[in-house]
Structure 1
Amino acid sequence: MAVTTTFLSATEKKHWWLTNRKIAEKYIKDARSLIATQERNEIVSALSLLDAALAISPRLDQALELKARSLLYLRRFKDVATMLQDYIPSLKIANEDSLSSVSSDSSSQHLSREGVKLLSSSDSSVQDQSFKCFSVSDLKKRVMAGLSKSCDNEGYWRYLVLGKACCHLGLMEDAMVLLQTGKRLASAAFRRESVCWTDDSFSLWKTPFSGDDVSKPPGTTPPKSPLSESETVNQLLAHIKFLLRRRTAAIAAMDAGLHTEAIRHFSKIVDGRRAAPQGFLAECYMYRASAFRSAGRIADSIADCNRTLSLDPTCIQALEARASILETIRCYQDSLHDLEHLKLLYNTILRDRKLAGPLWKRHNVRYNEIPGKLCTLTAKIQQLKQKMANGETKNVDYYALIGLRRGCGKSELQRAHLLLCLKHKPEKTTCFIERCEFGDERDIELVKDRARMSAMLLYRLLQKGYSNVMNCIVEEETAEKQRKMNLQLQQQQQKSVANGHVSVNNNNNNNNTRSVVVVQVQQNARDEKSKKKLDELEMGDKFAMSSPSIANPTVFQGVFCRDLTVVGNLLSQRFSNRSIPVKYEGLSC
C-alpha cells in the first residue's frame, strides 16, 4: 500500500512539472506570434505573456531573451538594464570593490581581536595545515568568470541587448565592452555550430548573430538578417569609440589648462549632427561648464549647469558647481537655493540608505561620503544666511556675470548683452533637447519644463545685470562730463587772469609808443621848417642873380663866389640837423 502511494505522488509531481513547462512554452509561442506583428501594442501584450512564463520558470532563457528584446524595441532601456544589471561591468567592479573593502574591514577587526595570539600551539598548527589565505575579490572574479563561461554558449544575446541598452543610457564604456564581448561570443558560437553543417547550410538566415534561438520554429517570426544586426553593432561601436575619443581629448585639454580647446571638443559632442544619449550629454555639459568657468564665461557656465540639471535633476556635482559659481559673483540668494536643494538630496540619500537612482547609475560621490558632506553643507548654508542678514545681497558682480571689465563703454555692454541674449533666450533653451536621446520618452516633457524654468531665471539675471551695468556706465559718463566741465571752467578762469596782466602791459607799451611818436612828429616839423627856409634862400639868390638892375660885373662876380661858400656851409649843416642861420648882408671876396 505504501509503495502504491509513493508511486502515485511521484506521478502527480511529474505531471505537475510537465504541465507548467507546457504552459510556459505556450506563453512563449503566443508571445512570438505577437512580436512577429512588429506593432507596439502587440509587443506590450507579449510582455505580459512573457512575464507569466517567467513566473512559472524564472530561468527560462527563451523567455528572458524575448522579454529583453521586446523591451529594447519599446525603448525601455532602463528596464533592460535593471533586468540584466548583473552583467554590467562597472556594477560588477563596484560590487567587488565594496566586498573587498568589507572583507578588509572584517579581517582587520579579526586581527585586532586576536592580536594577542601571536604564537599558536602545536595542536592548532596541526589542525590548520590545510588553511590558505585568499582574496575575496579574486575569488568572486573567478566565480563570475566561470558563470560567464558557462552561459556563453547559450546566453551571448545578453551582452548584445544589454550593450545596446547601456549605450542608449549613456554608459559608454560598459556598452563598448558588452558589445565587443557579445560580438566575439556570437562569432565563436557560429563557428562551433558550423562545424557539422554542409556547404548548402551556410545561409545568411541561419547565422545566430541575430540573437534569436536556432531552435525557433520557422514562420513564427519574420527572418532577421544577421548582417543588419552586425552592421548595427559595428556602427554603434564606431559611434561609441568616436564619442569616447572626443571626451578623452577634451578632458586632456582641461587638465593641460587649454580651456578653449576643451570647450571646442565638448561643443562638437553636444552640438553634433547625430544624437547622443541623455546621460552622456549631461556629463559632457558638466565638463564644459567647468571649462567655461575656468575661461571666465560665467553665464555660459551657469547655462550648462542648468542643462545638466534639466537632464539629470539629482546630479550632485552640477548643484555644487552652480552654487559655487553663484557665490563667486555674490549672488547669495540663488546660491542658497541650490544649497538647500542639495541638502534635501543628501537627507533623502541618508533616509533611503542608497544613492538616488537605480544601482547601475553612475555617481560622482559615494554613500559613505554623504554624512561629512552634509555637515560641511550645513555650515556653508549658515554662513550664507549670515551674509544675507548683513545686507550683502546687493553687491552682485554683474560685470563678471556678463564677462566685461570695469570701465567698459556702452558699445561693449550692448554687444555682450546681445550675444548672451541670443544664446540664452528662453525660447531657444529647449533646442538642445532635440539632440538628446532619452532612455524613456516620457521624460522629454519634464526635461523641457525644467530647462525653460532655469533658462528664465538666468535670462532675468542677465537683464538685471544689463540694467545695473548700464546705470553704472551712465553715472561714470556723467561724472566724467562734470569733471571735464570743471576742468574747462578752471582753464577759462586761468586764461582770463592771464589776459588781465597782458592788457596792463599793453597800456604801458602804448603810452611809451605815443611819447616816441610825439617826439618824432616834432622833429619832423622842425626839419620841414628848415627845409622851407633853405628853399626860400635859394629862390632869393636866384632872383638876385637874374635881376637886370645889377650892372657892375665885378660886384656880380664877388657876390657869386661868396654865395657859393654860404650854400656849401648850409648844405653841410642840413645833414647835421642843425638850424641854418640866414644873413642877407653882402660880403666881399
Structure 2
Amino acid sequence: MAVSSQYSSSSSIDKKNWWLTNRKIVDKYIKDARTLIATQEHREVSAALNLIDAALALSPRLEQALELKARALLCLRRFKDVADMLQDYIPSFKISGEDSVGSDGSSQQLSKDRVKLLGSSESHGCDSSFKCFSVSDLKKKVMAGLCKNGNKEGHWRYLILGQACCHLGLMEDAMVLLQTGKRLATAAFRRESICRSEDSFSLSDFPFSSDISTTNPPNTPPRALSDSETISNLLSHIKLLIRRRTAALAALDAGLYSEAIRHFSKIVDGRRGAPQGFLAECYMYRASAYRSAGRIAESIADCNRTLALNPSCIQALETRAVLFESIRCLPDCLHDLEHLKLLYNTILRDRKLPGPAWKRQNMRYREIPGKLCALTVKIQELKQRVASGETGNVDYYSLIGLRRGCSRSELERAHLLLCLRHKPDKATNFIERCELSDDRDLDSVRDKAKMSALLLYRMLQKGYSSIMATISDEEATEKQRKKAAAALQAAQAAAIQVQQQQLLQAQECHLERELIKAALRTPSKPMKTDRIGAADNKSSTEKSTFQGVFCRDLTVVGNLLLQAGLNRPLPVKYEALSC
C-alpha cells in the first residue's frame, strides 16, 4: 500500500511538472511570435506563424495563440486561410451557403449550430438558400449571437475576419463584422476608462487579448494611421462600393443599361482598387449590361476579365457562350460549353460547388444534374451545325456594333475605338486596380487575361477585314453603276442632239419647199422687178414704183416664214434694202 501510494504521488508530480513545462513552452512561443509579428516583415511573420502552430499543437484552444495566428495570416495576406479559420463567424455563411451532400448522396441542410453568430430561430417564410439578404437583418443576428458568447470570445475575431472578408470581396459581411468589432472595442474601452477624464476610442491601447493584459507588449514603431483610423477608412470605402453597386444594379433592373454601365465603370476604373472577388462580380454584371445594350465586343471582354479573376465562374462561361452563339461563332461557343460541361462534372464528382464553403454561389448543387443534361443536348446540336458547315458566316457587324451597309468612315471609327479599348498590350491594365486575394495568382491572372484579349483582338481584326472587303466590293459596284449611268446619260444626250439636228434639217427643207412653192405661185412679180431694175437708169421718175414692188416681195417672204413656224433671224444684206 505504501509503495502504491508513493507511486501514485510520484506520477501526479510528474503530470504536474509535464503540464507546467508545456505551459512555459507555449508562453515562450507566444512571446517570441508576438515580437516577430511586431516587426511586420514577411520573413519574421512567417517564422512567428511556425511558432504559433507549435504552440497550438500543445494547446489547440488557446485564445492568445488563435488570435496571433489570425493576425499573422492577415499580415501575410493569406485572407482565404483567415476565412477558413473563422468561417463560423461569417454572417452570410448560413444564408448564402449551399446544401451540403452527405456520404449517402442525399442533400442535407447545414447545421443550425454551425454559425455561432446567427440566431437559432429563422424568420417564417424565409428560404435557407435565399442569396439576397438584408444588412440590417445580419446586424440583428450578429448582435443576437453576441449576447450569448460576447463575454467568452474577444472582439479581435470580428475585426480580423472583417478585414479578410473585405479583401475576399464579401463586402456586406465585412461591413457588419467591422462595425460589430468597432462597437465591441468601444464598449470594452468605455468599461475600462471609467476613471479616465477623456473617453476616446483607440484600438492601439488594447493588447491582443484580455488574458494577456498583465504582459507588457513590445514597443512598436509609430505608424501613420492607428488601427481605428484604418478600420474607419476601410468601412468608408466598403460603404462607397456597396452604394455604387446598388445603384448600378437598380439601373440594370430598370432597363437603364447606359446608366448601369456608368456606375459599374466607376467601380472597376476607380482610383482606389477593389478586391478581386468584388471586381469579378462587377465585371460580370457589366457584361450583362453590355449584352443587353447590344455591345457584344465589350461584353465578351468583361467576361474574359471575369474568368481571368475567377476561372470557375459559371455565369461568365454561360454568358460568353451565348454571345458567341448570337454572332454565329460556333467553334468558340462549343469550346466554352465543353469547359462548362467539364466544370459540372467536377462539381458532381466532388459533391460540392467550386471554391470554399463560405464563397457565394449563383446556383444550388441540386440544379447541376439538370443543367448538365441540357448542356449535353446543346453541345450535340452545335456539333451537328458545325459538321454541316455553319462556321464561316460569322456576324461581324453585330460583333463590332455596326449596321449592315455602313460606310467606310463608320467602320474605321468603330474599329479604332475597339482597338484602343481591347488592345492586347492594355489587356492587363485592370489588374493594377485589383487587390488580389493571393499574390501568387498574379502570373496566372495576367496570362489568362492576355490570352483571352489576344483571341478577341484577332476576331475584331478578322471582322474588320471582312467588313472592309464587303464595303470595297460595294464601292466598286457603286462606281461601276455610276459610270454606266454617266455613259447612258451621255448617249441619251447625243441621241437628243442628233434628233434636234435632224428636226432642224427637216424644218429647213420644209422652208425651202415652201419658198419654192411661193415663188411658183407668183412668177410675174420677180420678172417685173427685173424689168424695173433694168430700166432704173432710164428714168428717175419711176423709182418709187420699183421700191414698192421690192417691199411687196419682202412681205411675201416674211409671211411664208411665219407660216413655216421658224422663229429665227435671216441673214439680210442691208445694201439690198436701199430702195
- Give the TM-score normalised by the residue count of structure 2: 0.82
366-375 or 140-149, larger mean C-alpha shift: 140-149
Report how far residue 238 of structure 1 moved.
0.5
Q: Distance in 2 between matches of 1:267 and 1:514?
A: 90
Report matched runs for 1:574-585 at 5 Å: none
CA displacement, residues 495-536 of structure 1 (integer Å, 9 cap, x when unaligned): 455445444333221212233455579898546425435644
Amino acid at match of 1:58: P
Report how far residue 189 of structure 1 moved.
1.2
Report how far residue 283 of structure 1 moved.
0.6
Which residue of the partner structure matches residue 175 of structure 2? 176
CA displacement, residues 183-223 of structure 1 (integer Å, 9 cap, x when unaligned): 0111111122223x455998968733877866152253527
Which residue of the partner structure matches residue 185 of structure 1? 184
2:300/2:320 contact within 8 Å kept: yes
CA displacement, residues 233-271 of structure 1 (integer Å, 9 cap, x when unaligned): 111000000000001101111111111111111111111
Matched, 1:46 2:52: no
241-250 or 87-96, larger mean C-alpha shift: 87-96
CA displacement, residues 104-131 of structure 1 (integer Å, 9 cap, x when unaligned): 999xxxxxxxxxxxxxxxxxxxxxxxxx
Which residue of the partner structure matches residue 80 of structure 1? 82
Q: Distance in 1 between matches of 2:144 and 2:264?
A: 37
Amino acid at match of 1:30: D
Q: Distance in 1 between matches of 2:529 and 2:339?
A: 115
Report matched runs for 1:380-399 at 5 Å: 380-399=378-397
Q: Distance in 2 between matches of 1:434 and 1:460?
A: 24
Which residue of the partner structure matches residue 457 of structure 1? 455
Report how far residue 428 of structure 1 moved.
0.8
Report how far residue 4 of structure 1 moved.
5.0
Q: Distance in 2 between matches of 1:170 and 1:569?
A: 126
1:187/1:209 contact within 8 Å kept: no
Q: Distance in 1 between matches of 2:264 and 2:433?
A: 14
Which residue of the partner structure matches residue 532 of structure 1? 533
Report matched runs for 1:3-152 at 5 Å: 4-94=6-96, 137=122, 145=144, 149-152=148-151
Which residue of the partner structure matches residue 252 of structure 1? 250
Specify whether residues 308 and 212 from structure 1 end up closer, same or farther in structure 2 by C-alpha distance, changes over 3 A only.
Answer: farther
CA displacement, residues 530-566 of structure 1 (integer Å, 9 cap, x when unaligned): 5435644534x7xxxxxxxxxxxxxxxxxxxxxxxx9
Which residue of the partner structure matches residue 364 of structure 1? 362
Matched, 1:422 2:423: no
Specify whether residues 205 and 273 from structure 1 end up closer, same or farther in structure 2 by C-alpha distance, changes over 3 A only.
Answer: closer
Report matched runs for 1:289-438 at 5 Å: 289-438=287-436
417-426 or 136-145, larger mean C-alpha shift: 136-145
Could you list the runs of 5+ residues in structure 2 that have no partner in the other structure? 112-118, 129-139, 554-579
Which residue of the partner structure matches residue 117 of structure 1? none
Amino acid at match of 2:407: G
Specify whether residues 572 and 155 from structure 1 end up closer, same or farther in structure 2 by C-alpha distance, changes over 3 A only.
Answer: closer
Specify whether residues 152 and 396 from structure 1 end up closer, same or farther in structure 2 by C-alpha distance, changes over 3 A only.
Answer: farther
Report how far residue 480 of structure 1 moved.
2.0
Secondary structure at the counterpart of residue 328 of structure 2: coil
Report how far residue 491 of structure 1 moved.
3.8
Report how far residue 63 of structure 1 moved.
0.7
Matched, 1:276 2:251: no
Q: Distance in 2 between matches of 1:571 and 1:138?
A: 132
Q: Distance in 2 between matches of 1:497 and 1:574?
A: 43
Which residue of the partner structure matches residue 234 of structure 1? 232
2:99/2:109 contact within 8 Å kept: no
2:30/2:65 contact within 8 Å kept: yes
Report how far residue 3 of structure 1 moved.
5.1
34-43 or 379-388, larger mean C-alpha shift: 34-43
Secondary structure at the counterpart of residue 312 of structure 2: coil
Secondary structure at the counterpart of residue 272 of structure 1: coil
* TM-align CA RMSD: 3.6
Amino acid at match of 2:189: F
Secondary structure at the counterpart of residue 193 of structure 2: helix
Q: Distance in 2 between matches of 1:428 and 1:212?
A: 51
1:205/1:223 contact within 8 Å kept: no
- Name which one, 1 or 2, has greater alpha-carbon Rg: 1
Specify whether residues 479 and 422 from structure 1 end up closer, same or farther in structure 2 by C-alpha distance, changes over 3 A only.
Answer: same
Amino acid at match of 2:237: H
Report how far residue 432 of structure 1 moved.
0.7
Report how far residue 487 of structure 1 moved.
3.4
2:99/2:110 contact within 8 Å kept: no
Question: Which has the larger helix fraction?
Answer: 1
Q: Distance in 2 between matches of 1:234 and 1:402?
A: 45
Q: Distance in 1 between matches of 2:196 and 2:334?
A: 73
Secondary structure at the counterpart of residue 391 of structure 1: coil
Report how far residue 143 of structure 1 moved.
12
2:203/2:226 contact within 8 Å kept: no
Q: Distance in 1 between matches of 2:303 and 2:201?
A: 52
Q: Distance in 2 between matches of 1:37 and 1:571?
A: 139
Specify whether residues 143 and 11 from structure 1 end up closer, same or farther in structure 2 by C-alpha distance, changes over 3 A only.
Answer: farther
Report how far residue 79 of structure 1 moved.
1.1
Report matched runs for 1:495-506 at 5 Å: 495-506=493-504
Specify whether residues 374 and 575 from structure 1 end up closer, same or farther in structure 2 by C-alpha distance, changes over 3 A only.
Answer: closer
Amino acid at match of 2:163: K
1:253/1:259 contact within 8 Å kept: yes
Report how far residue 306 of structure 1 moved.
0.5
Q: Distance in 1 between matches of 2:370 and 2:305?
A: 28
Specify whether residues 157 and 373 from structure 1 end up closer, same or farther in structure 2 by C-alpha distance, changes over 3 A only.
Answer: same
Specify whether residues 97 and 144 from structure 1 end up closer, same or farther in structure 2 by C-alpha distance, changes over 3 A only.
Answer: farther
Q: Distance in 1 between matches of 2:504 and 2:547?
A: 42
Secondary structure at the counterpart of residue 93 of structure 1: coil
Could you list the runs of 5+ residues in structure 1 that have no partner in the other structure? 107-133, 542-565, 578-589
1:209/1:230 contact within 8 Å kept: no
CA displacement, residues 395-443 of structure 1 (integer Å, 9 cap, x when unaligned): 1000011111110111111111111111111111111110000111111
2:202/2:228 contact within 8 Å kept: no
Amino acid at match of 1:184: R
Q: Percent identity?
A: 60
492-501 or 456-465, larger mean C-alpha shift: 492-501
